[in-house]
Amino acid sequence: MVAVAIAAGLSSPAPGYADPVAVRFPEGTLHGFLSLRAPDGKMLASGDLLQTASAGRVTARLIFKFKDGSVSDETAVFSQRGHFRLISDHLVQRGPAFERPLDLTIDANSGEVTVRYTTDHGENKVETERMELPPDLANGLITTLLKNMRRTAPTTLSLVVATPKPRVVKLKIASAGADSLSIGGLPRKATHYVVRVDIGGVAGLMAQVAGKQPPDSHIWILQDVVPAFLRSQSPMFAGGPLWQIELIAPSWR
């Protein structure tokens, strides 16, 4: 669900890939309500997670509508027969909240990735590549996968990013322990995951030296009989700030 961005447009060797995550908690139909806030706590957008499931295939759409008219709209389709496998992903970002408009389409079966974007000079560009996409591809699935992982085991996943040329990077995920919170006045514990983008090779070293290493993202998952996403802090575009996504409840008049 969270768009983890890459800030260094540098070439790098193909990373090693991990196995896809096993299904422990199958996804179903749901409608979630979310808020998106700036680092200072200012409300930027409200969001809806719309998810349907049929015959082992799940379609999850996450759309944020910003107060300034911007939109972030991502639809991920994945299978969950034994393991989670991405089938397709489509991410659209437009409006003043983002540095430049972006339209990223991934067809995991064919390996075709298309990026439509606008340059700093206002010129529309299209980059299409046929890529060898790994089975652990996590675009649009990061929180779903975290709900199904063993909390103590470090994990590596893959992610297609647009820089604007599409490329695959690795996400190194590790638990930072349990954080305390309360829900309805009752104390709970949430597992705090730290997600680091690993560019790898010489390109990764150059990105660190140039100060273009993306910041770590943070995701909190309630580990219970049924796990649940609670909060995340991550950039939504290359070079962007750490925006916070949280669950919200209705306000009755």
Per-residue pLDDT tens over the stretch 123-152: 899 999 999 999 999 999 999 999 998 876
Q: Hey, what's the torsion of the CAs at 36, 174, 139, 76, to 10 degrees? A: -70
How many domains does one find in the chain? 1
Asked, for residue 101, whether it belongs to a domain, the answer is yes
Q: For 91-106, what is each residue's pLDDT tens digit?
A: 999 999 998 899 999 9
What's residue 200's pLDDT?
59
Asked, for residue 12, whether it belongs to a domain, the answer is no
Name the residue range of residue 136's domain: 30-247
| 109-133 core/surface letters (b: 16 or more CB in 10 A; e: else) | eeebbbbbbbeeeeeeeeeeeebeb
Angstrom distance (rounded) from CA 16 to CA 37 = 34
Asked, for residue 88, whether it belongs to a domain, the answer is yes
Asked, for residue 171, whether it belongs to a domain, the answer is yes
Cα angle at 144 between 110 and 59, to 5 degrees? 55
What's residue 239's pLDDT?
86
What's residue 69's pLDDT?
98
Asked, for residue 17, whether it belongs to a domain, the answer is no
Asked, for residue 20, whether it belongs to a domain, the answer is no
CATH number of the domain that 120 lies in? Answer: 2.40.360
Question: Global pTM?
Answer: 0.86
- More confidently predicted of 182 and 212: 182
Q: For 9-26, what is each residue's pLDDT tens digit?
A: 223 334 455 778 999 999
What's residue 176's pLDDT?
93
What Cα–Cα distance (Å) separates residue 187 from each residue in 135, 140, 181? Answer: 38, 30, 6
Asked, for residue 24, whether it belongs to a domain, the answer is no
Angstrom distance (rounded) from CA 57 to CA 7 = 32
Asked, for residue 71, whether it belongs to a domain, the answer is yes
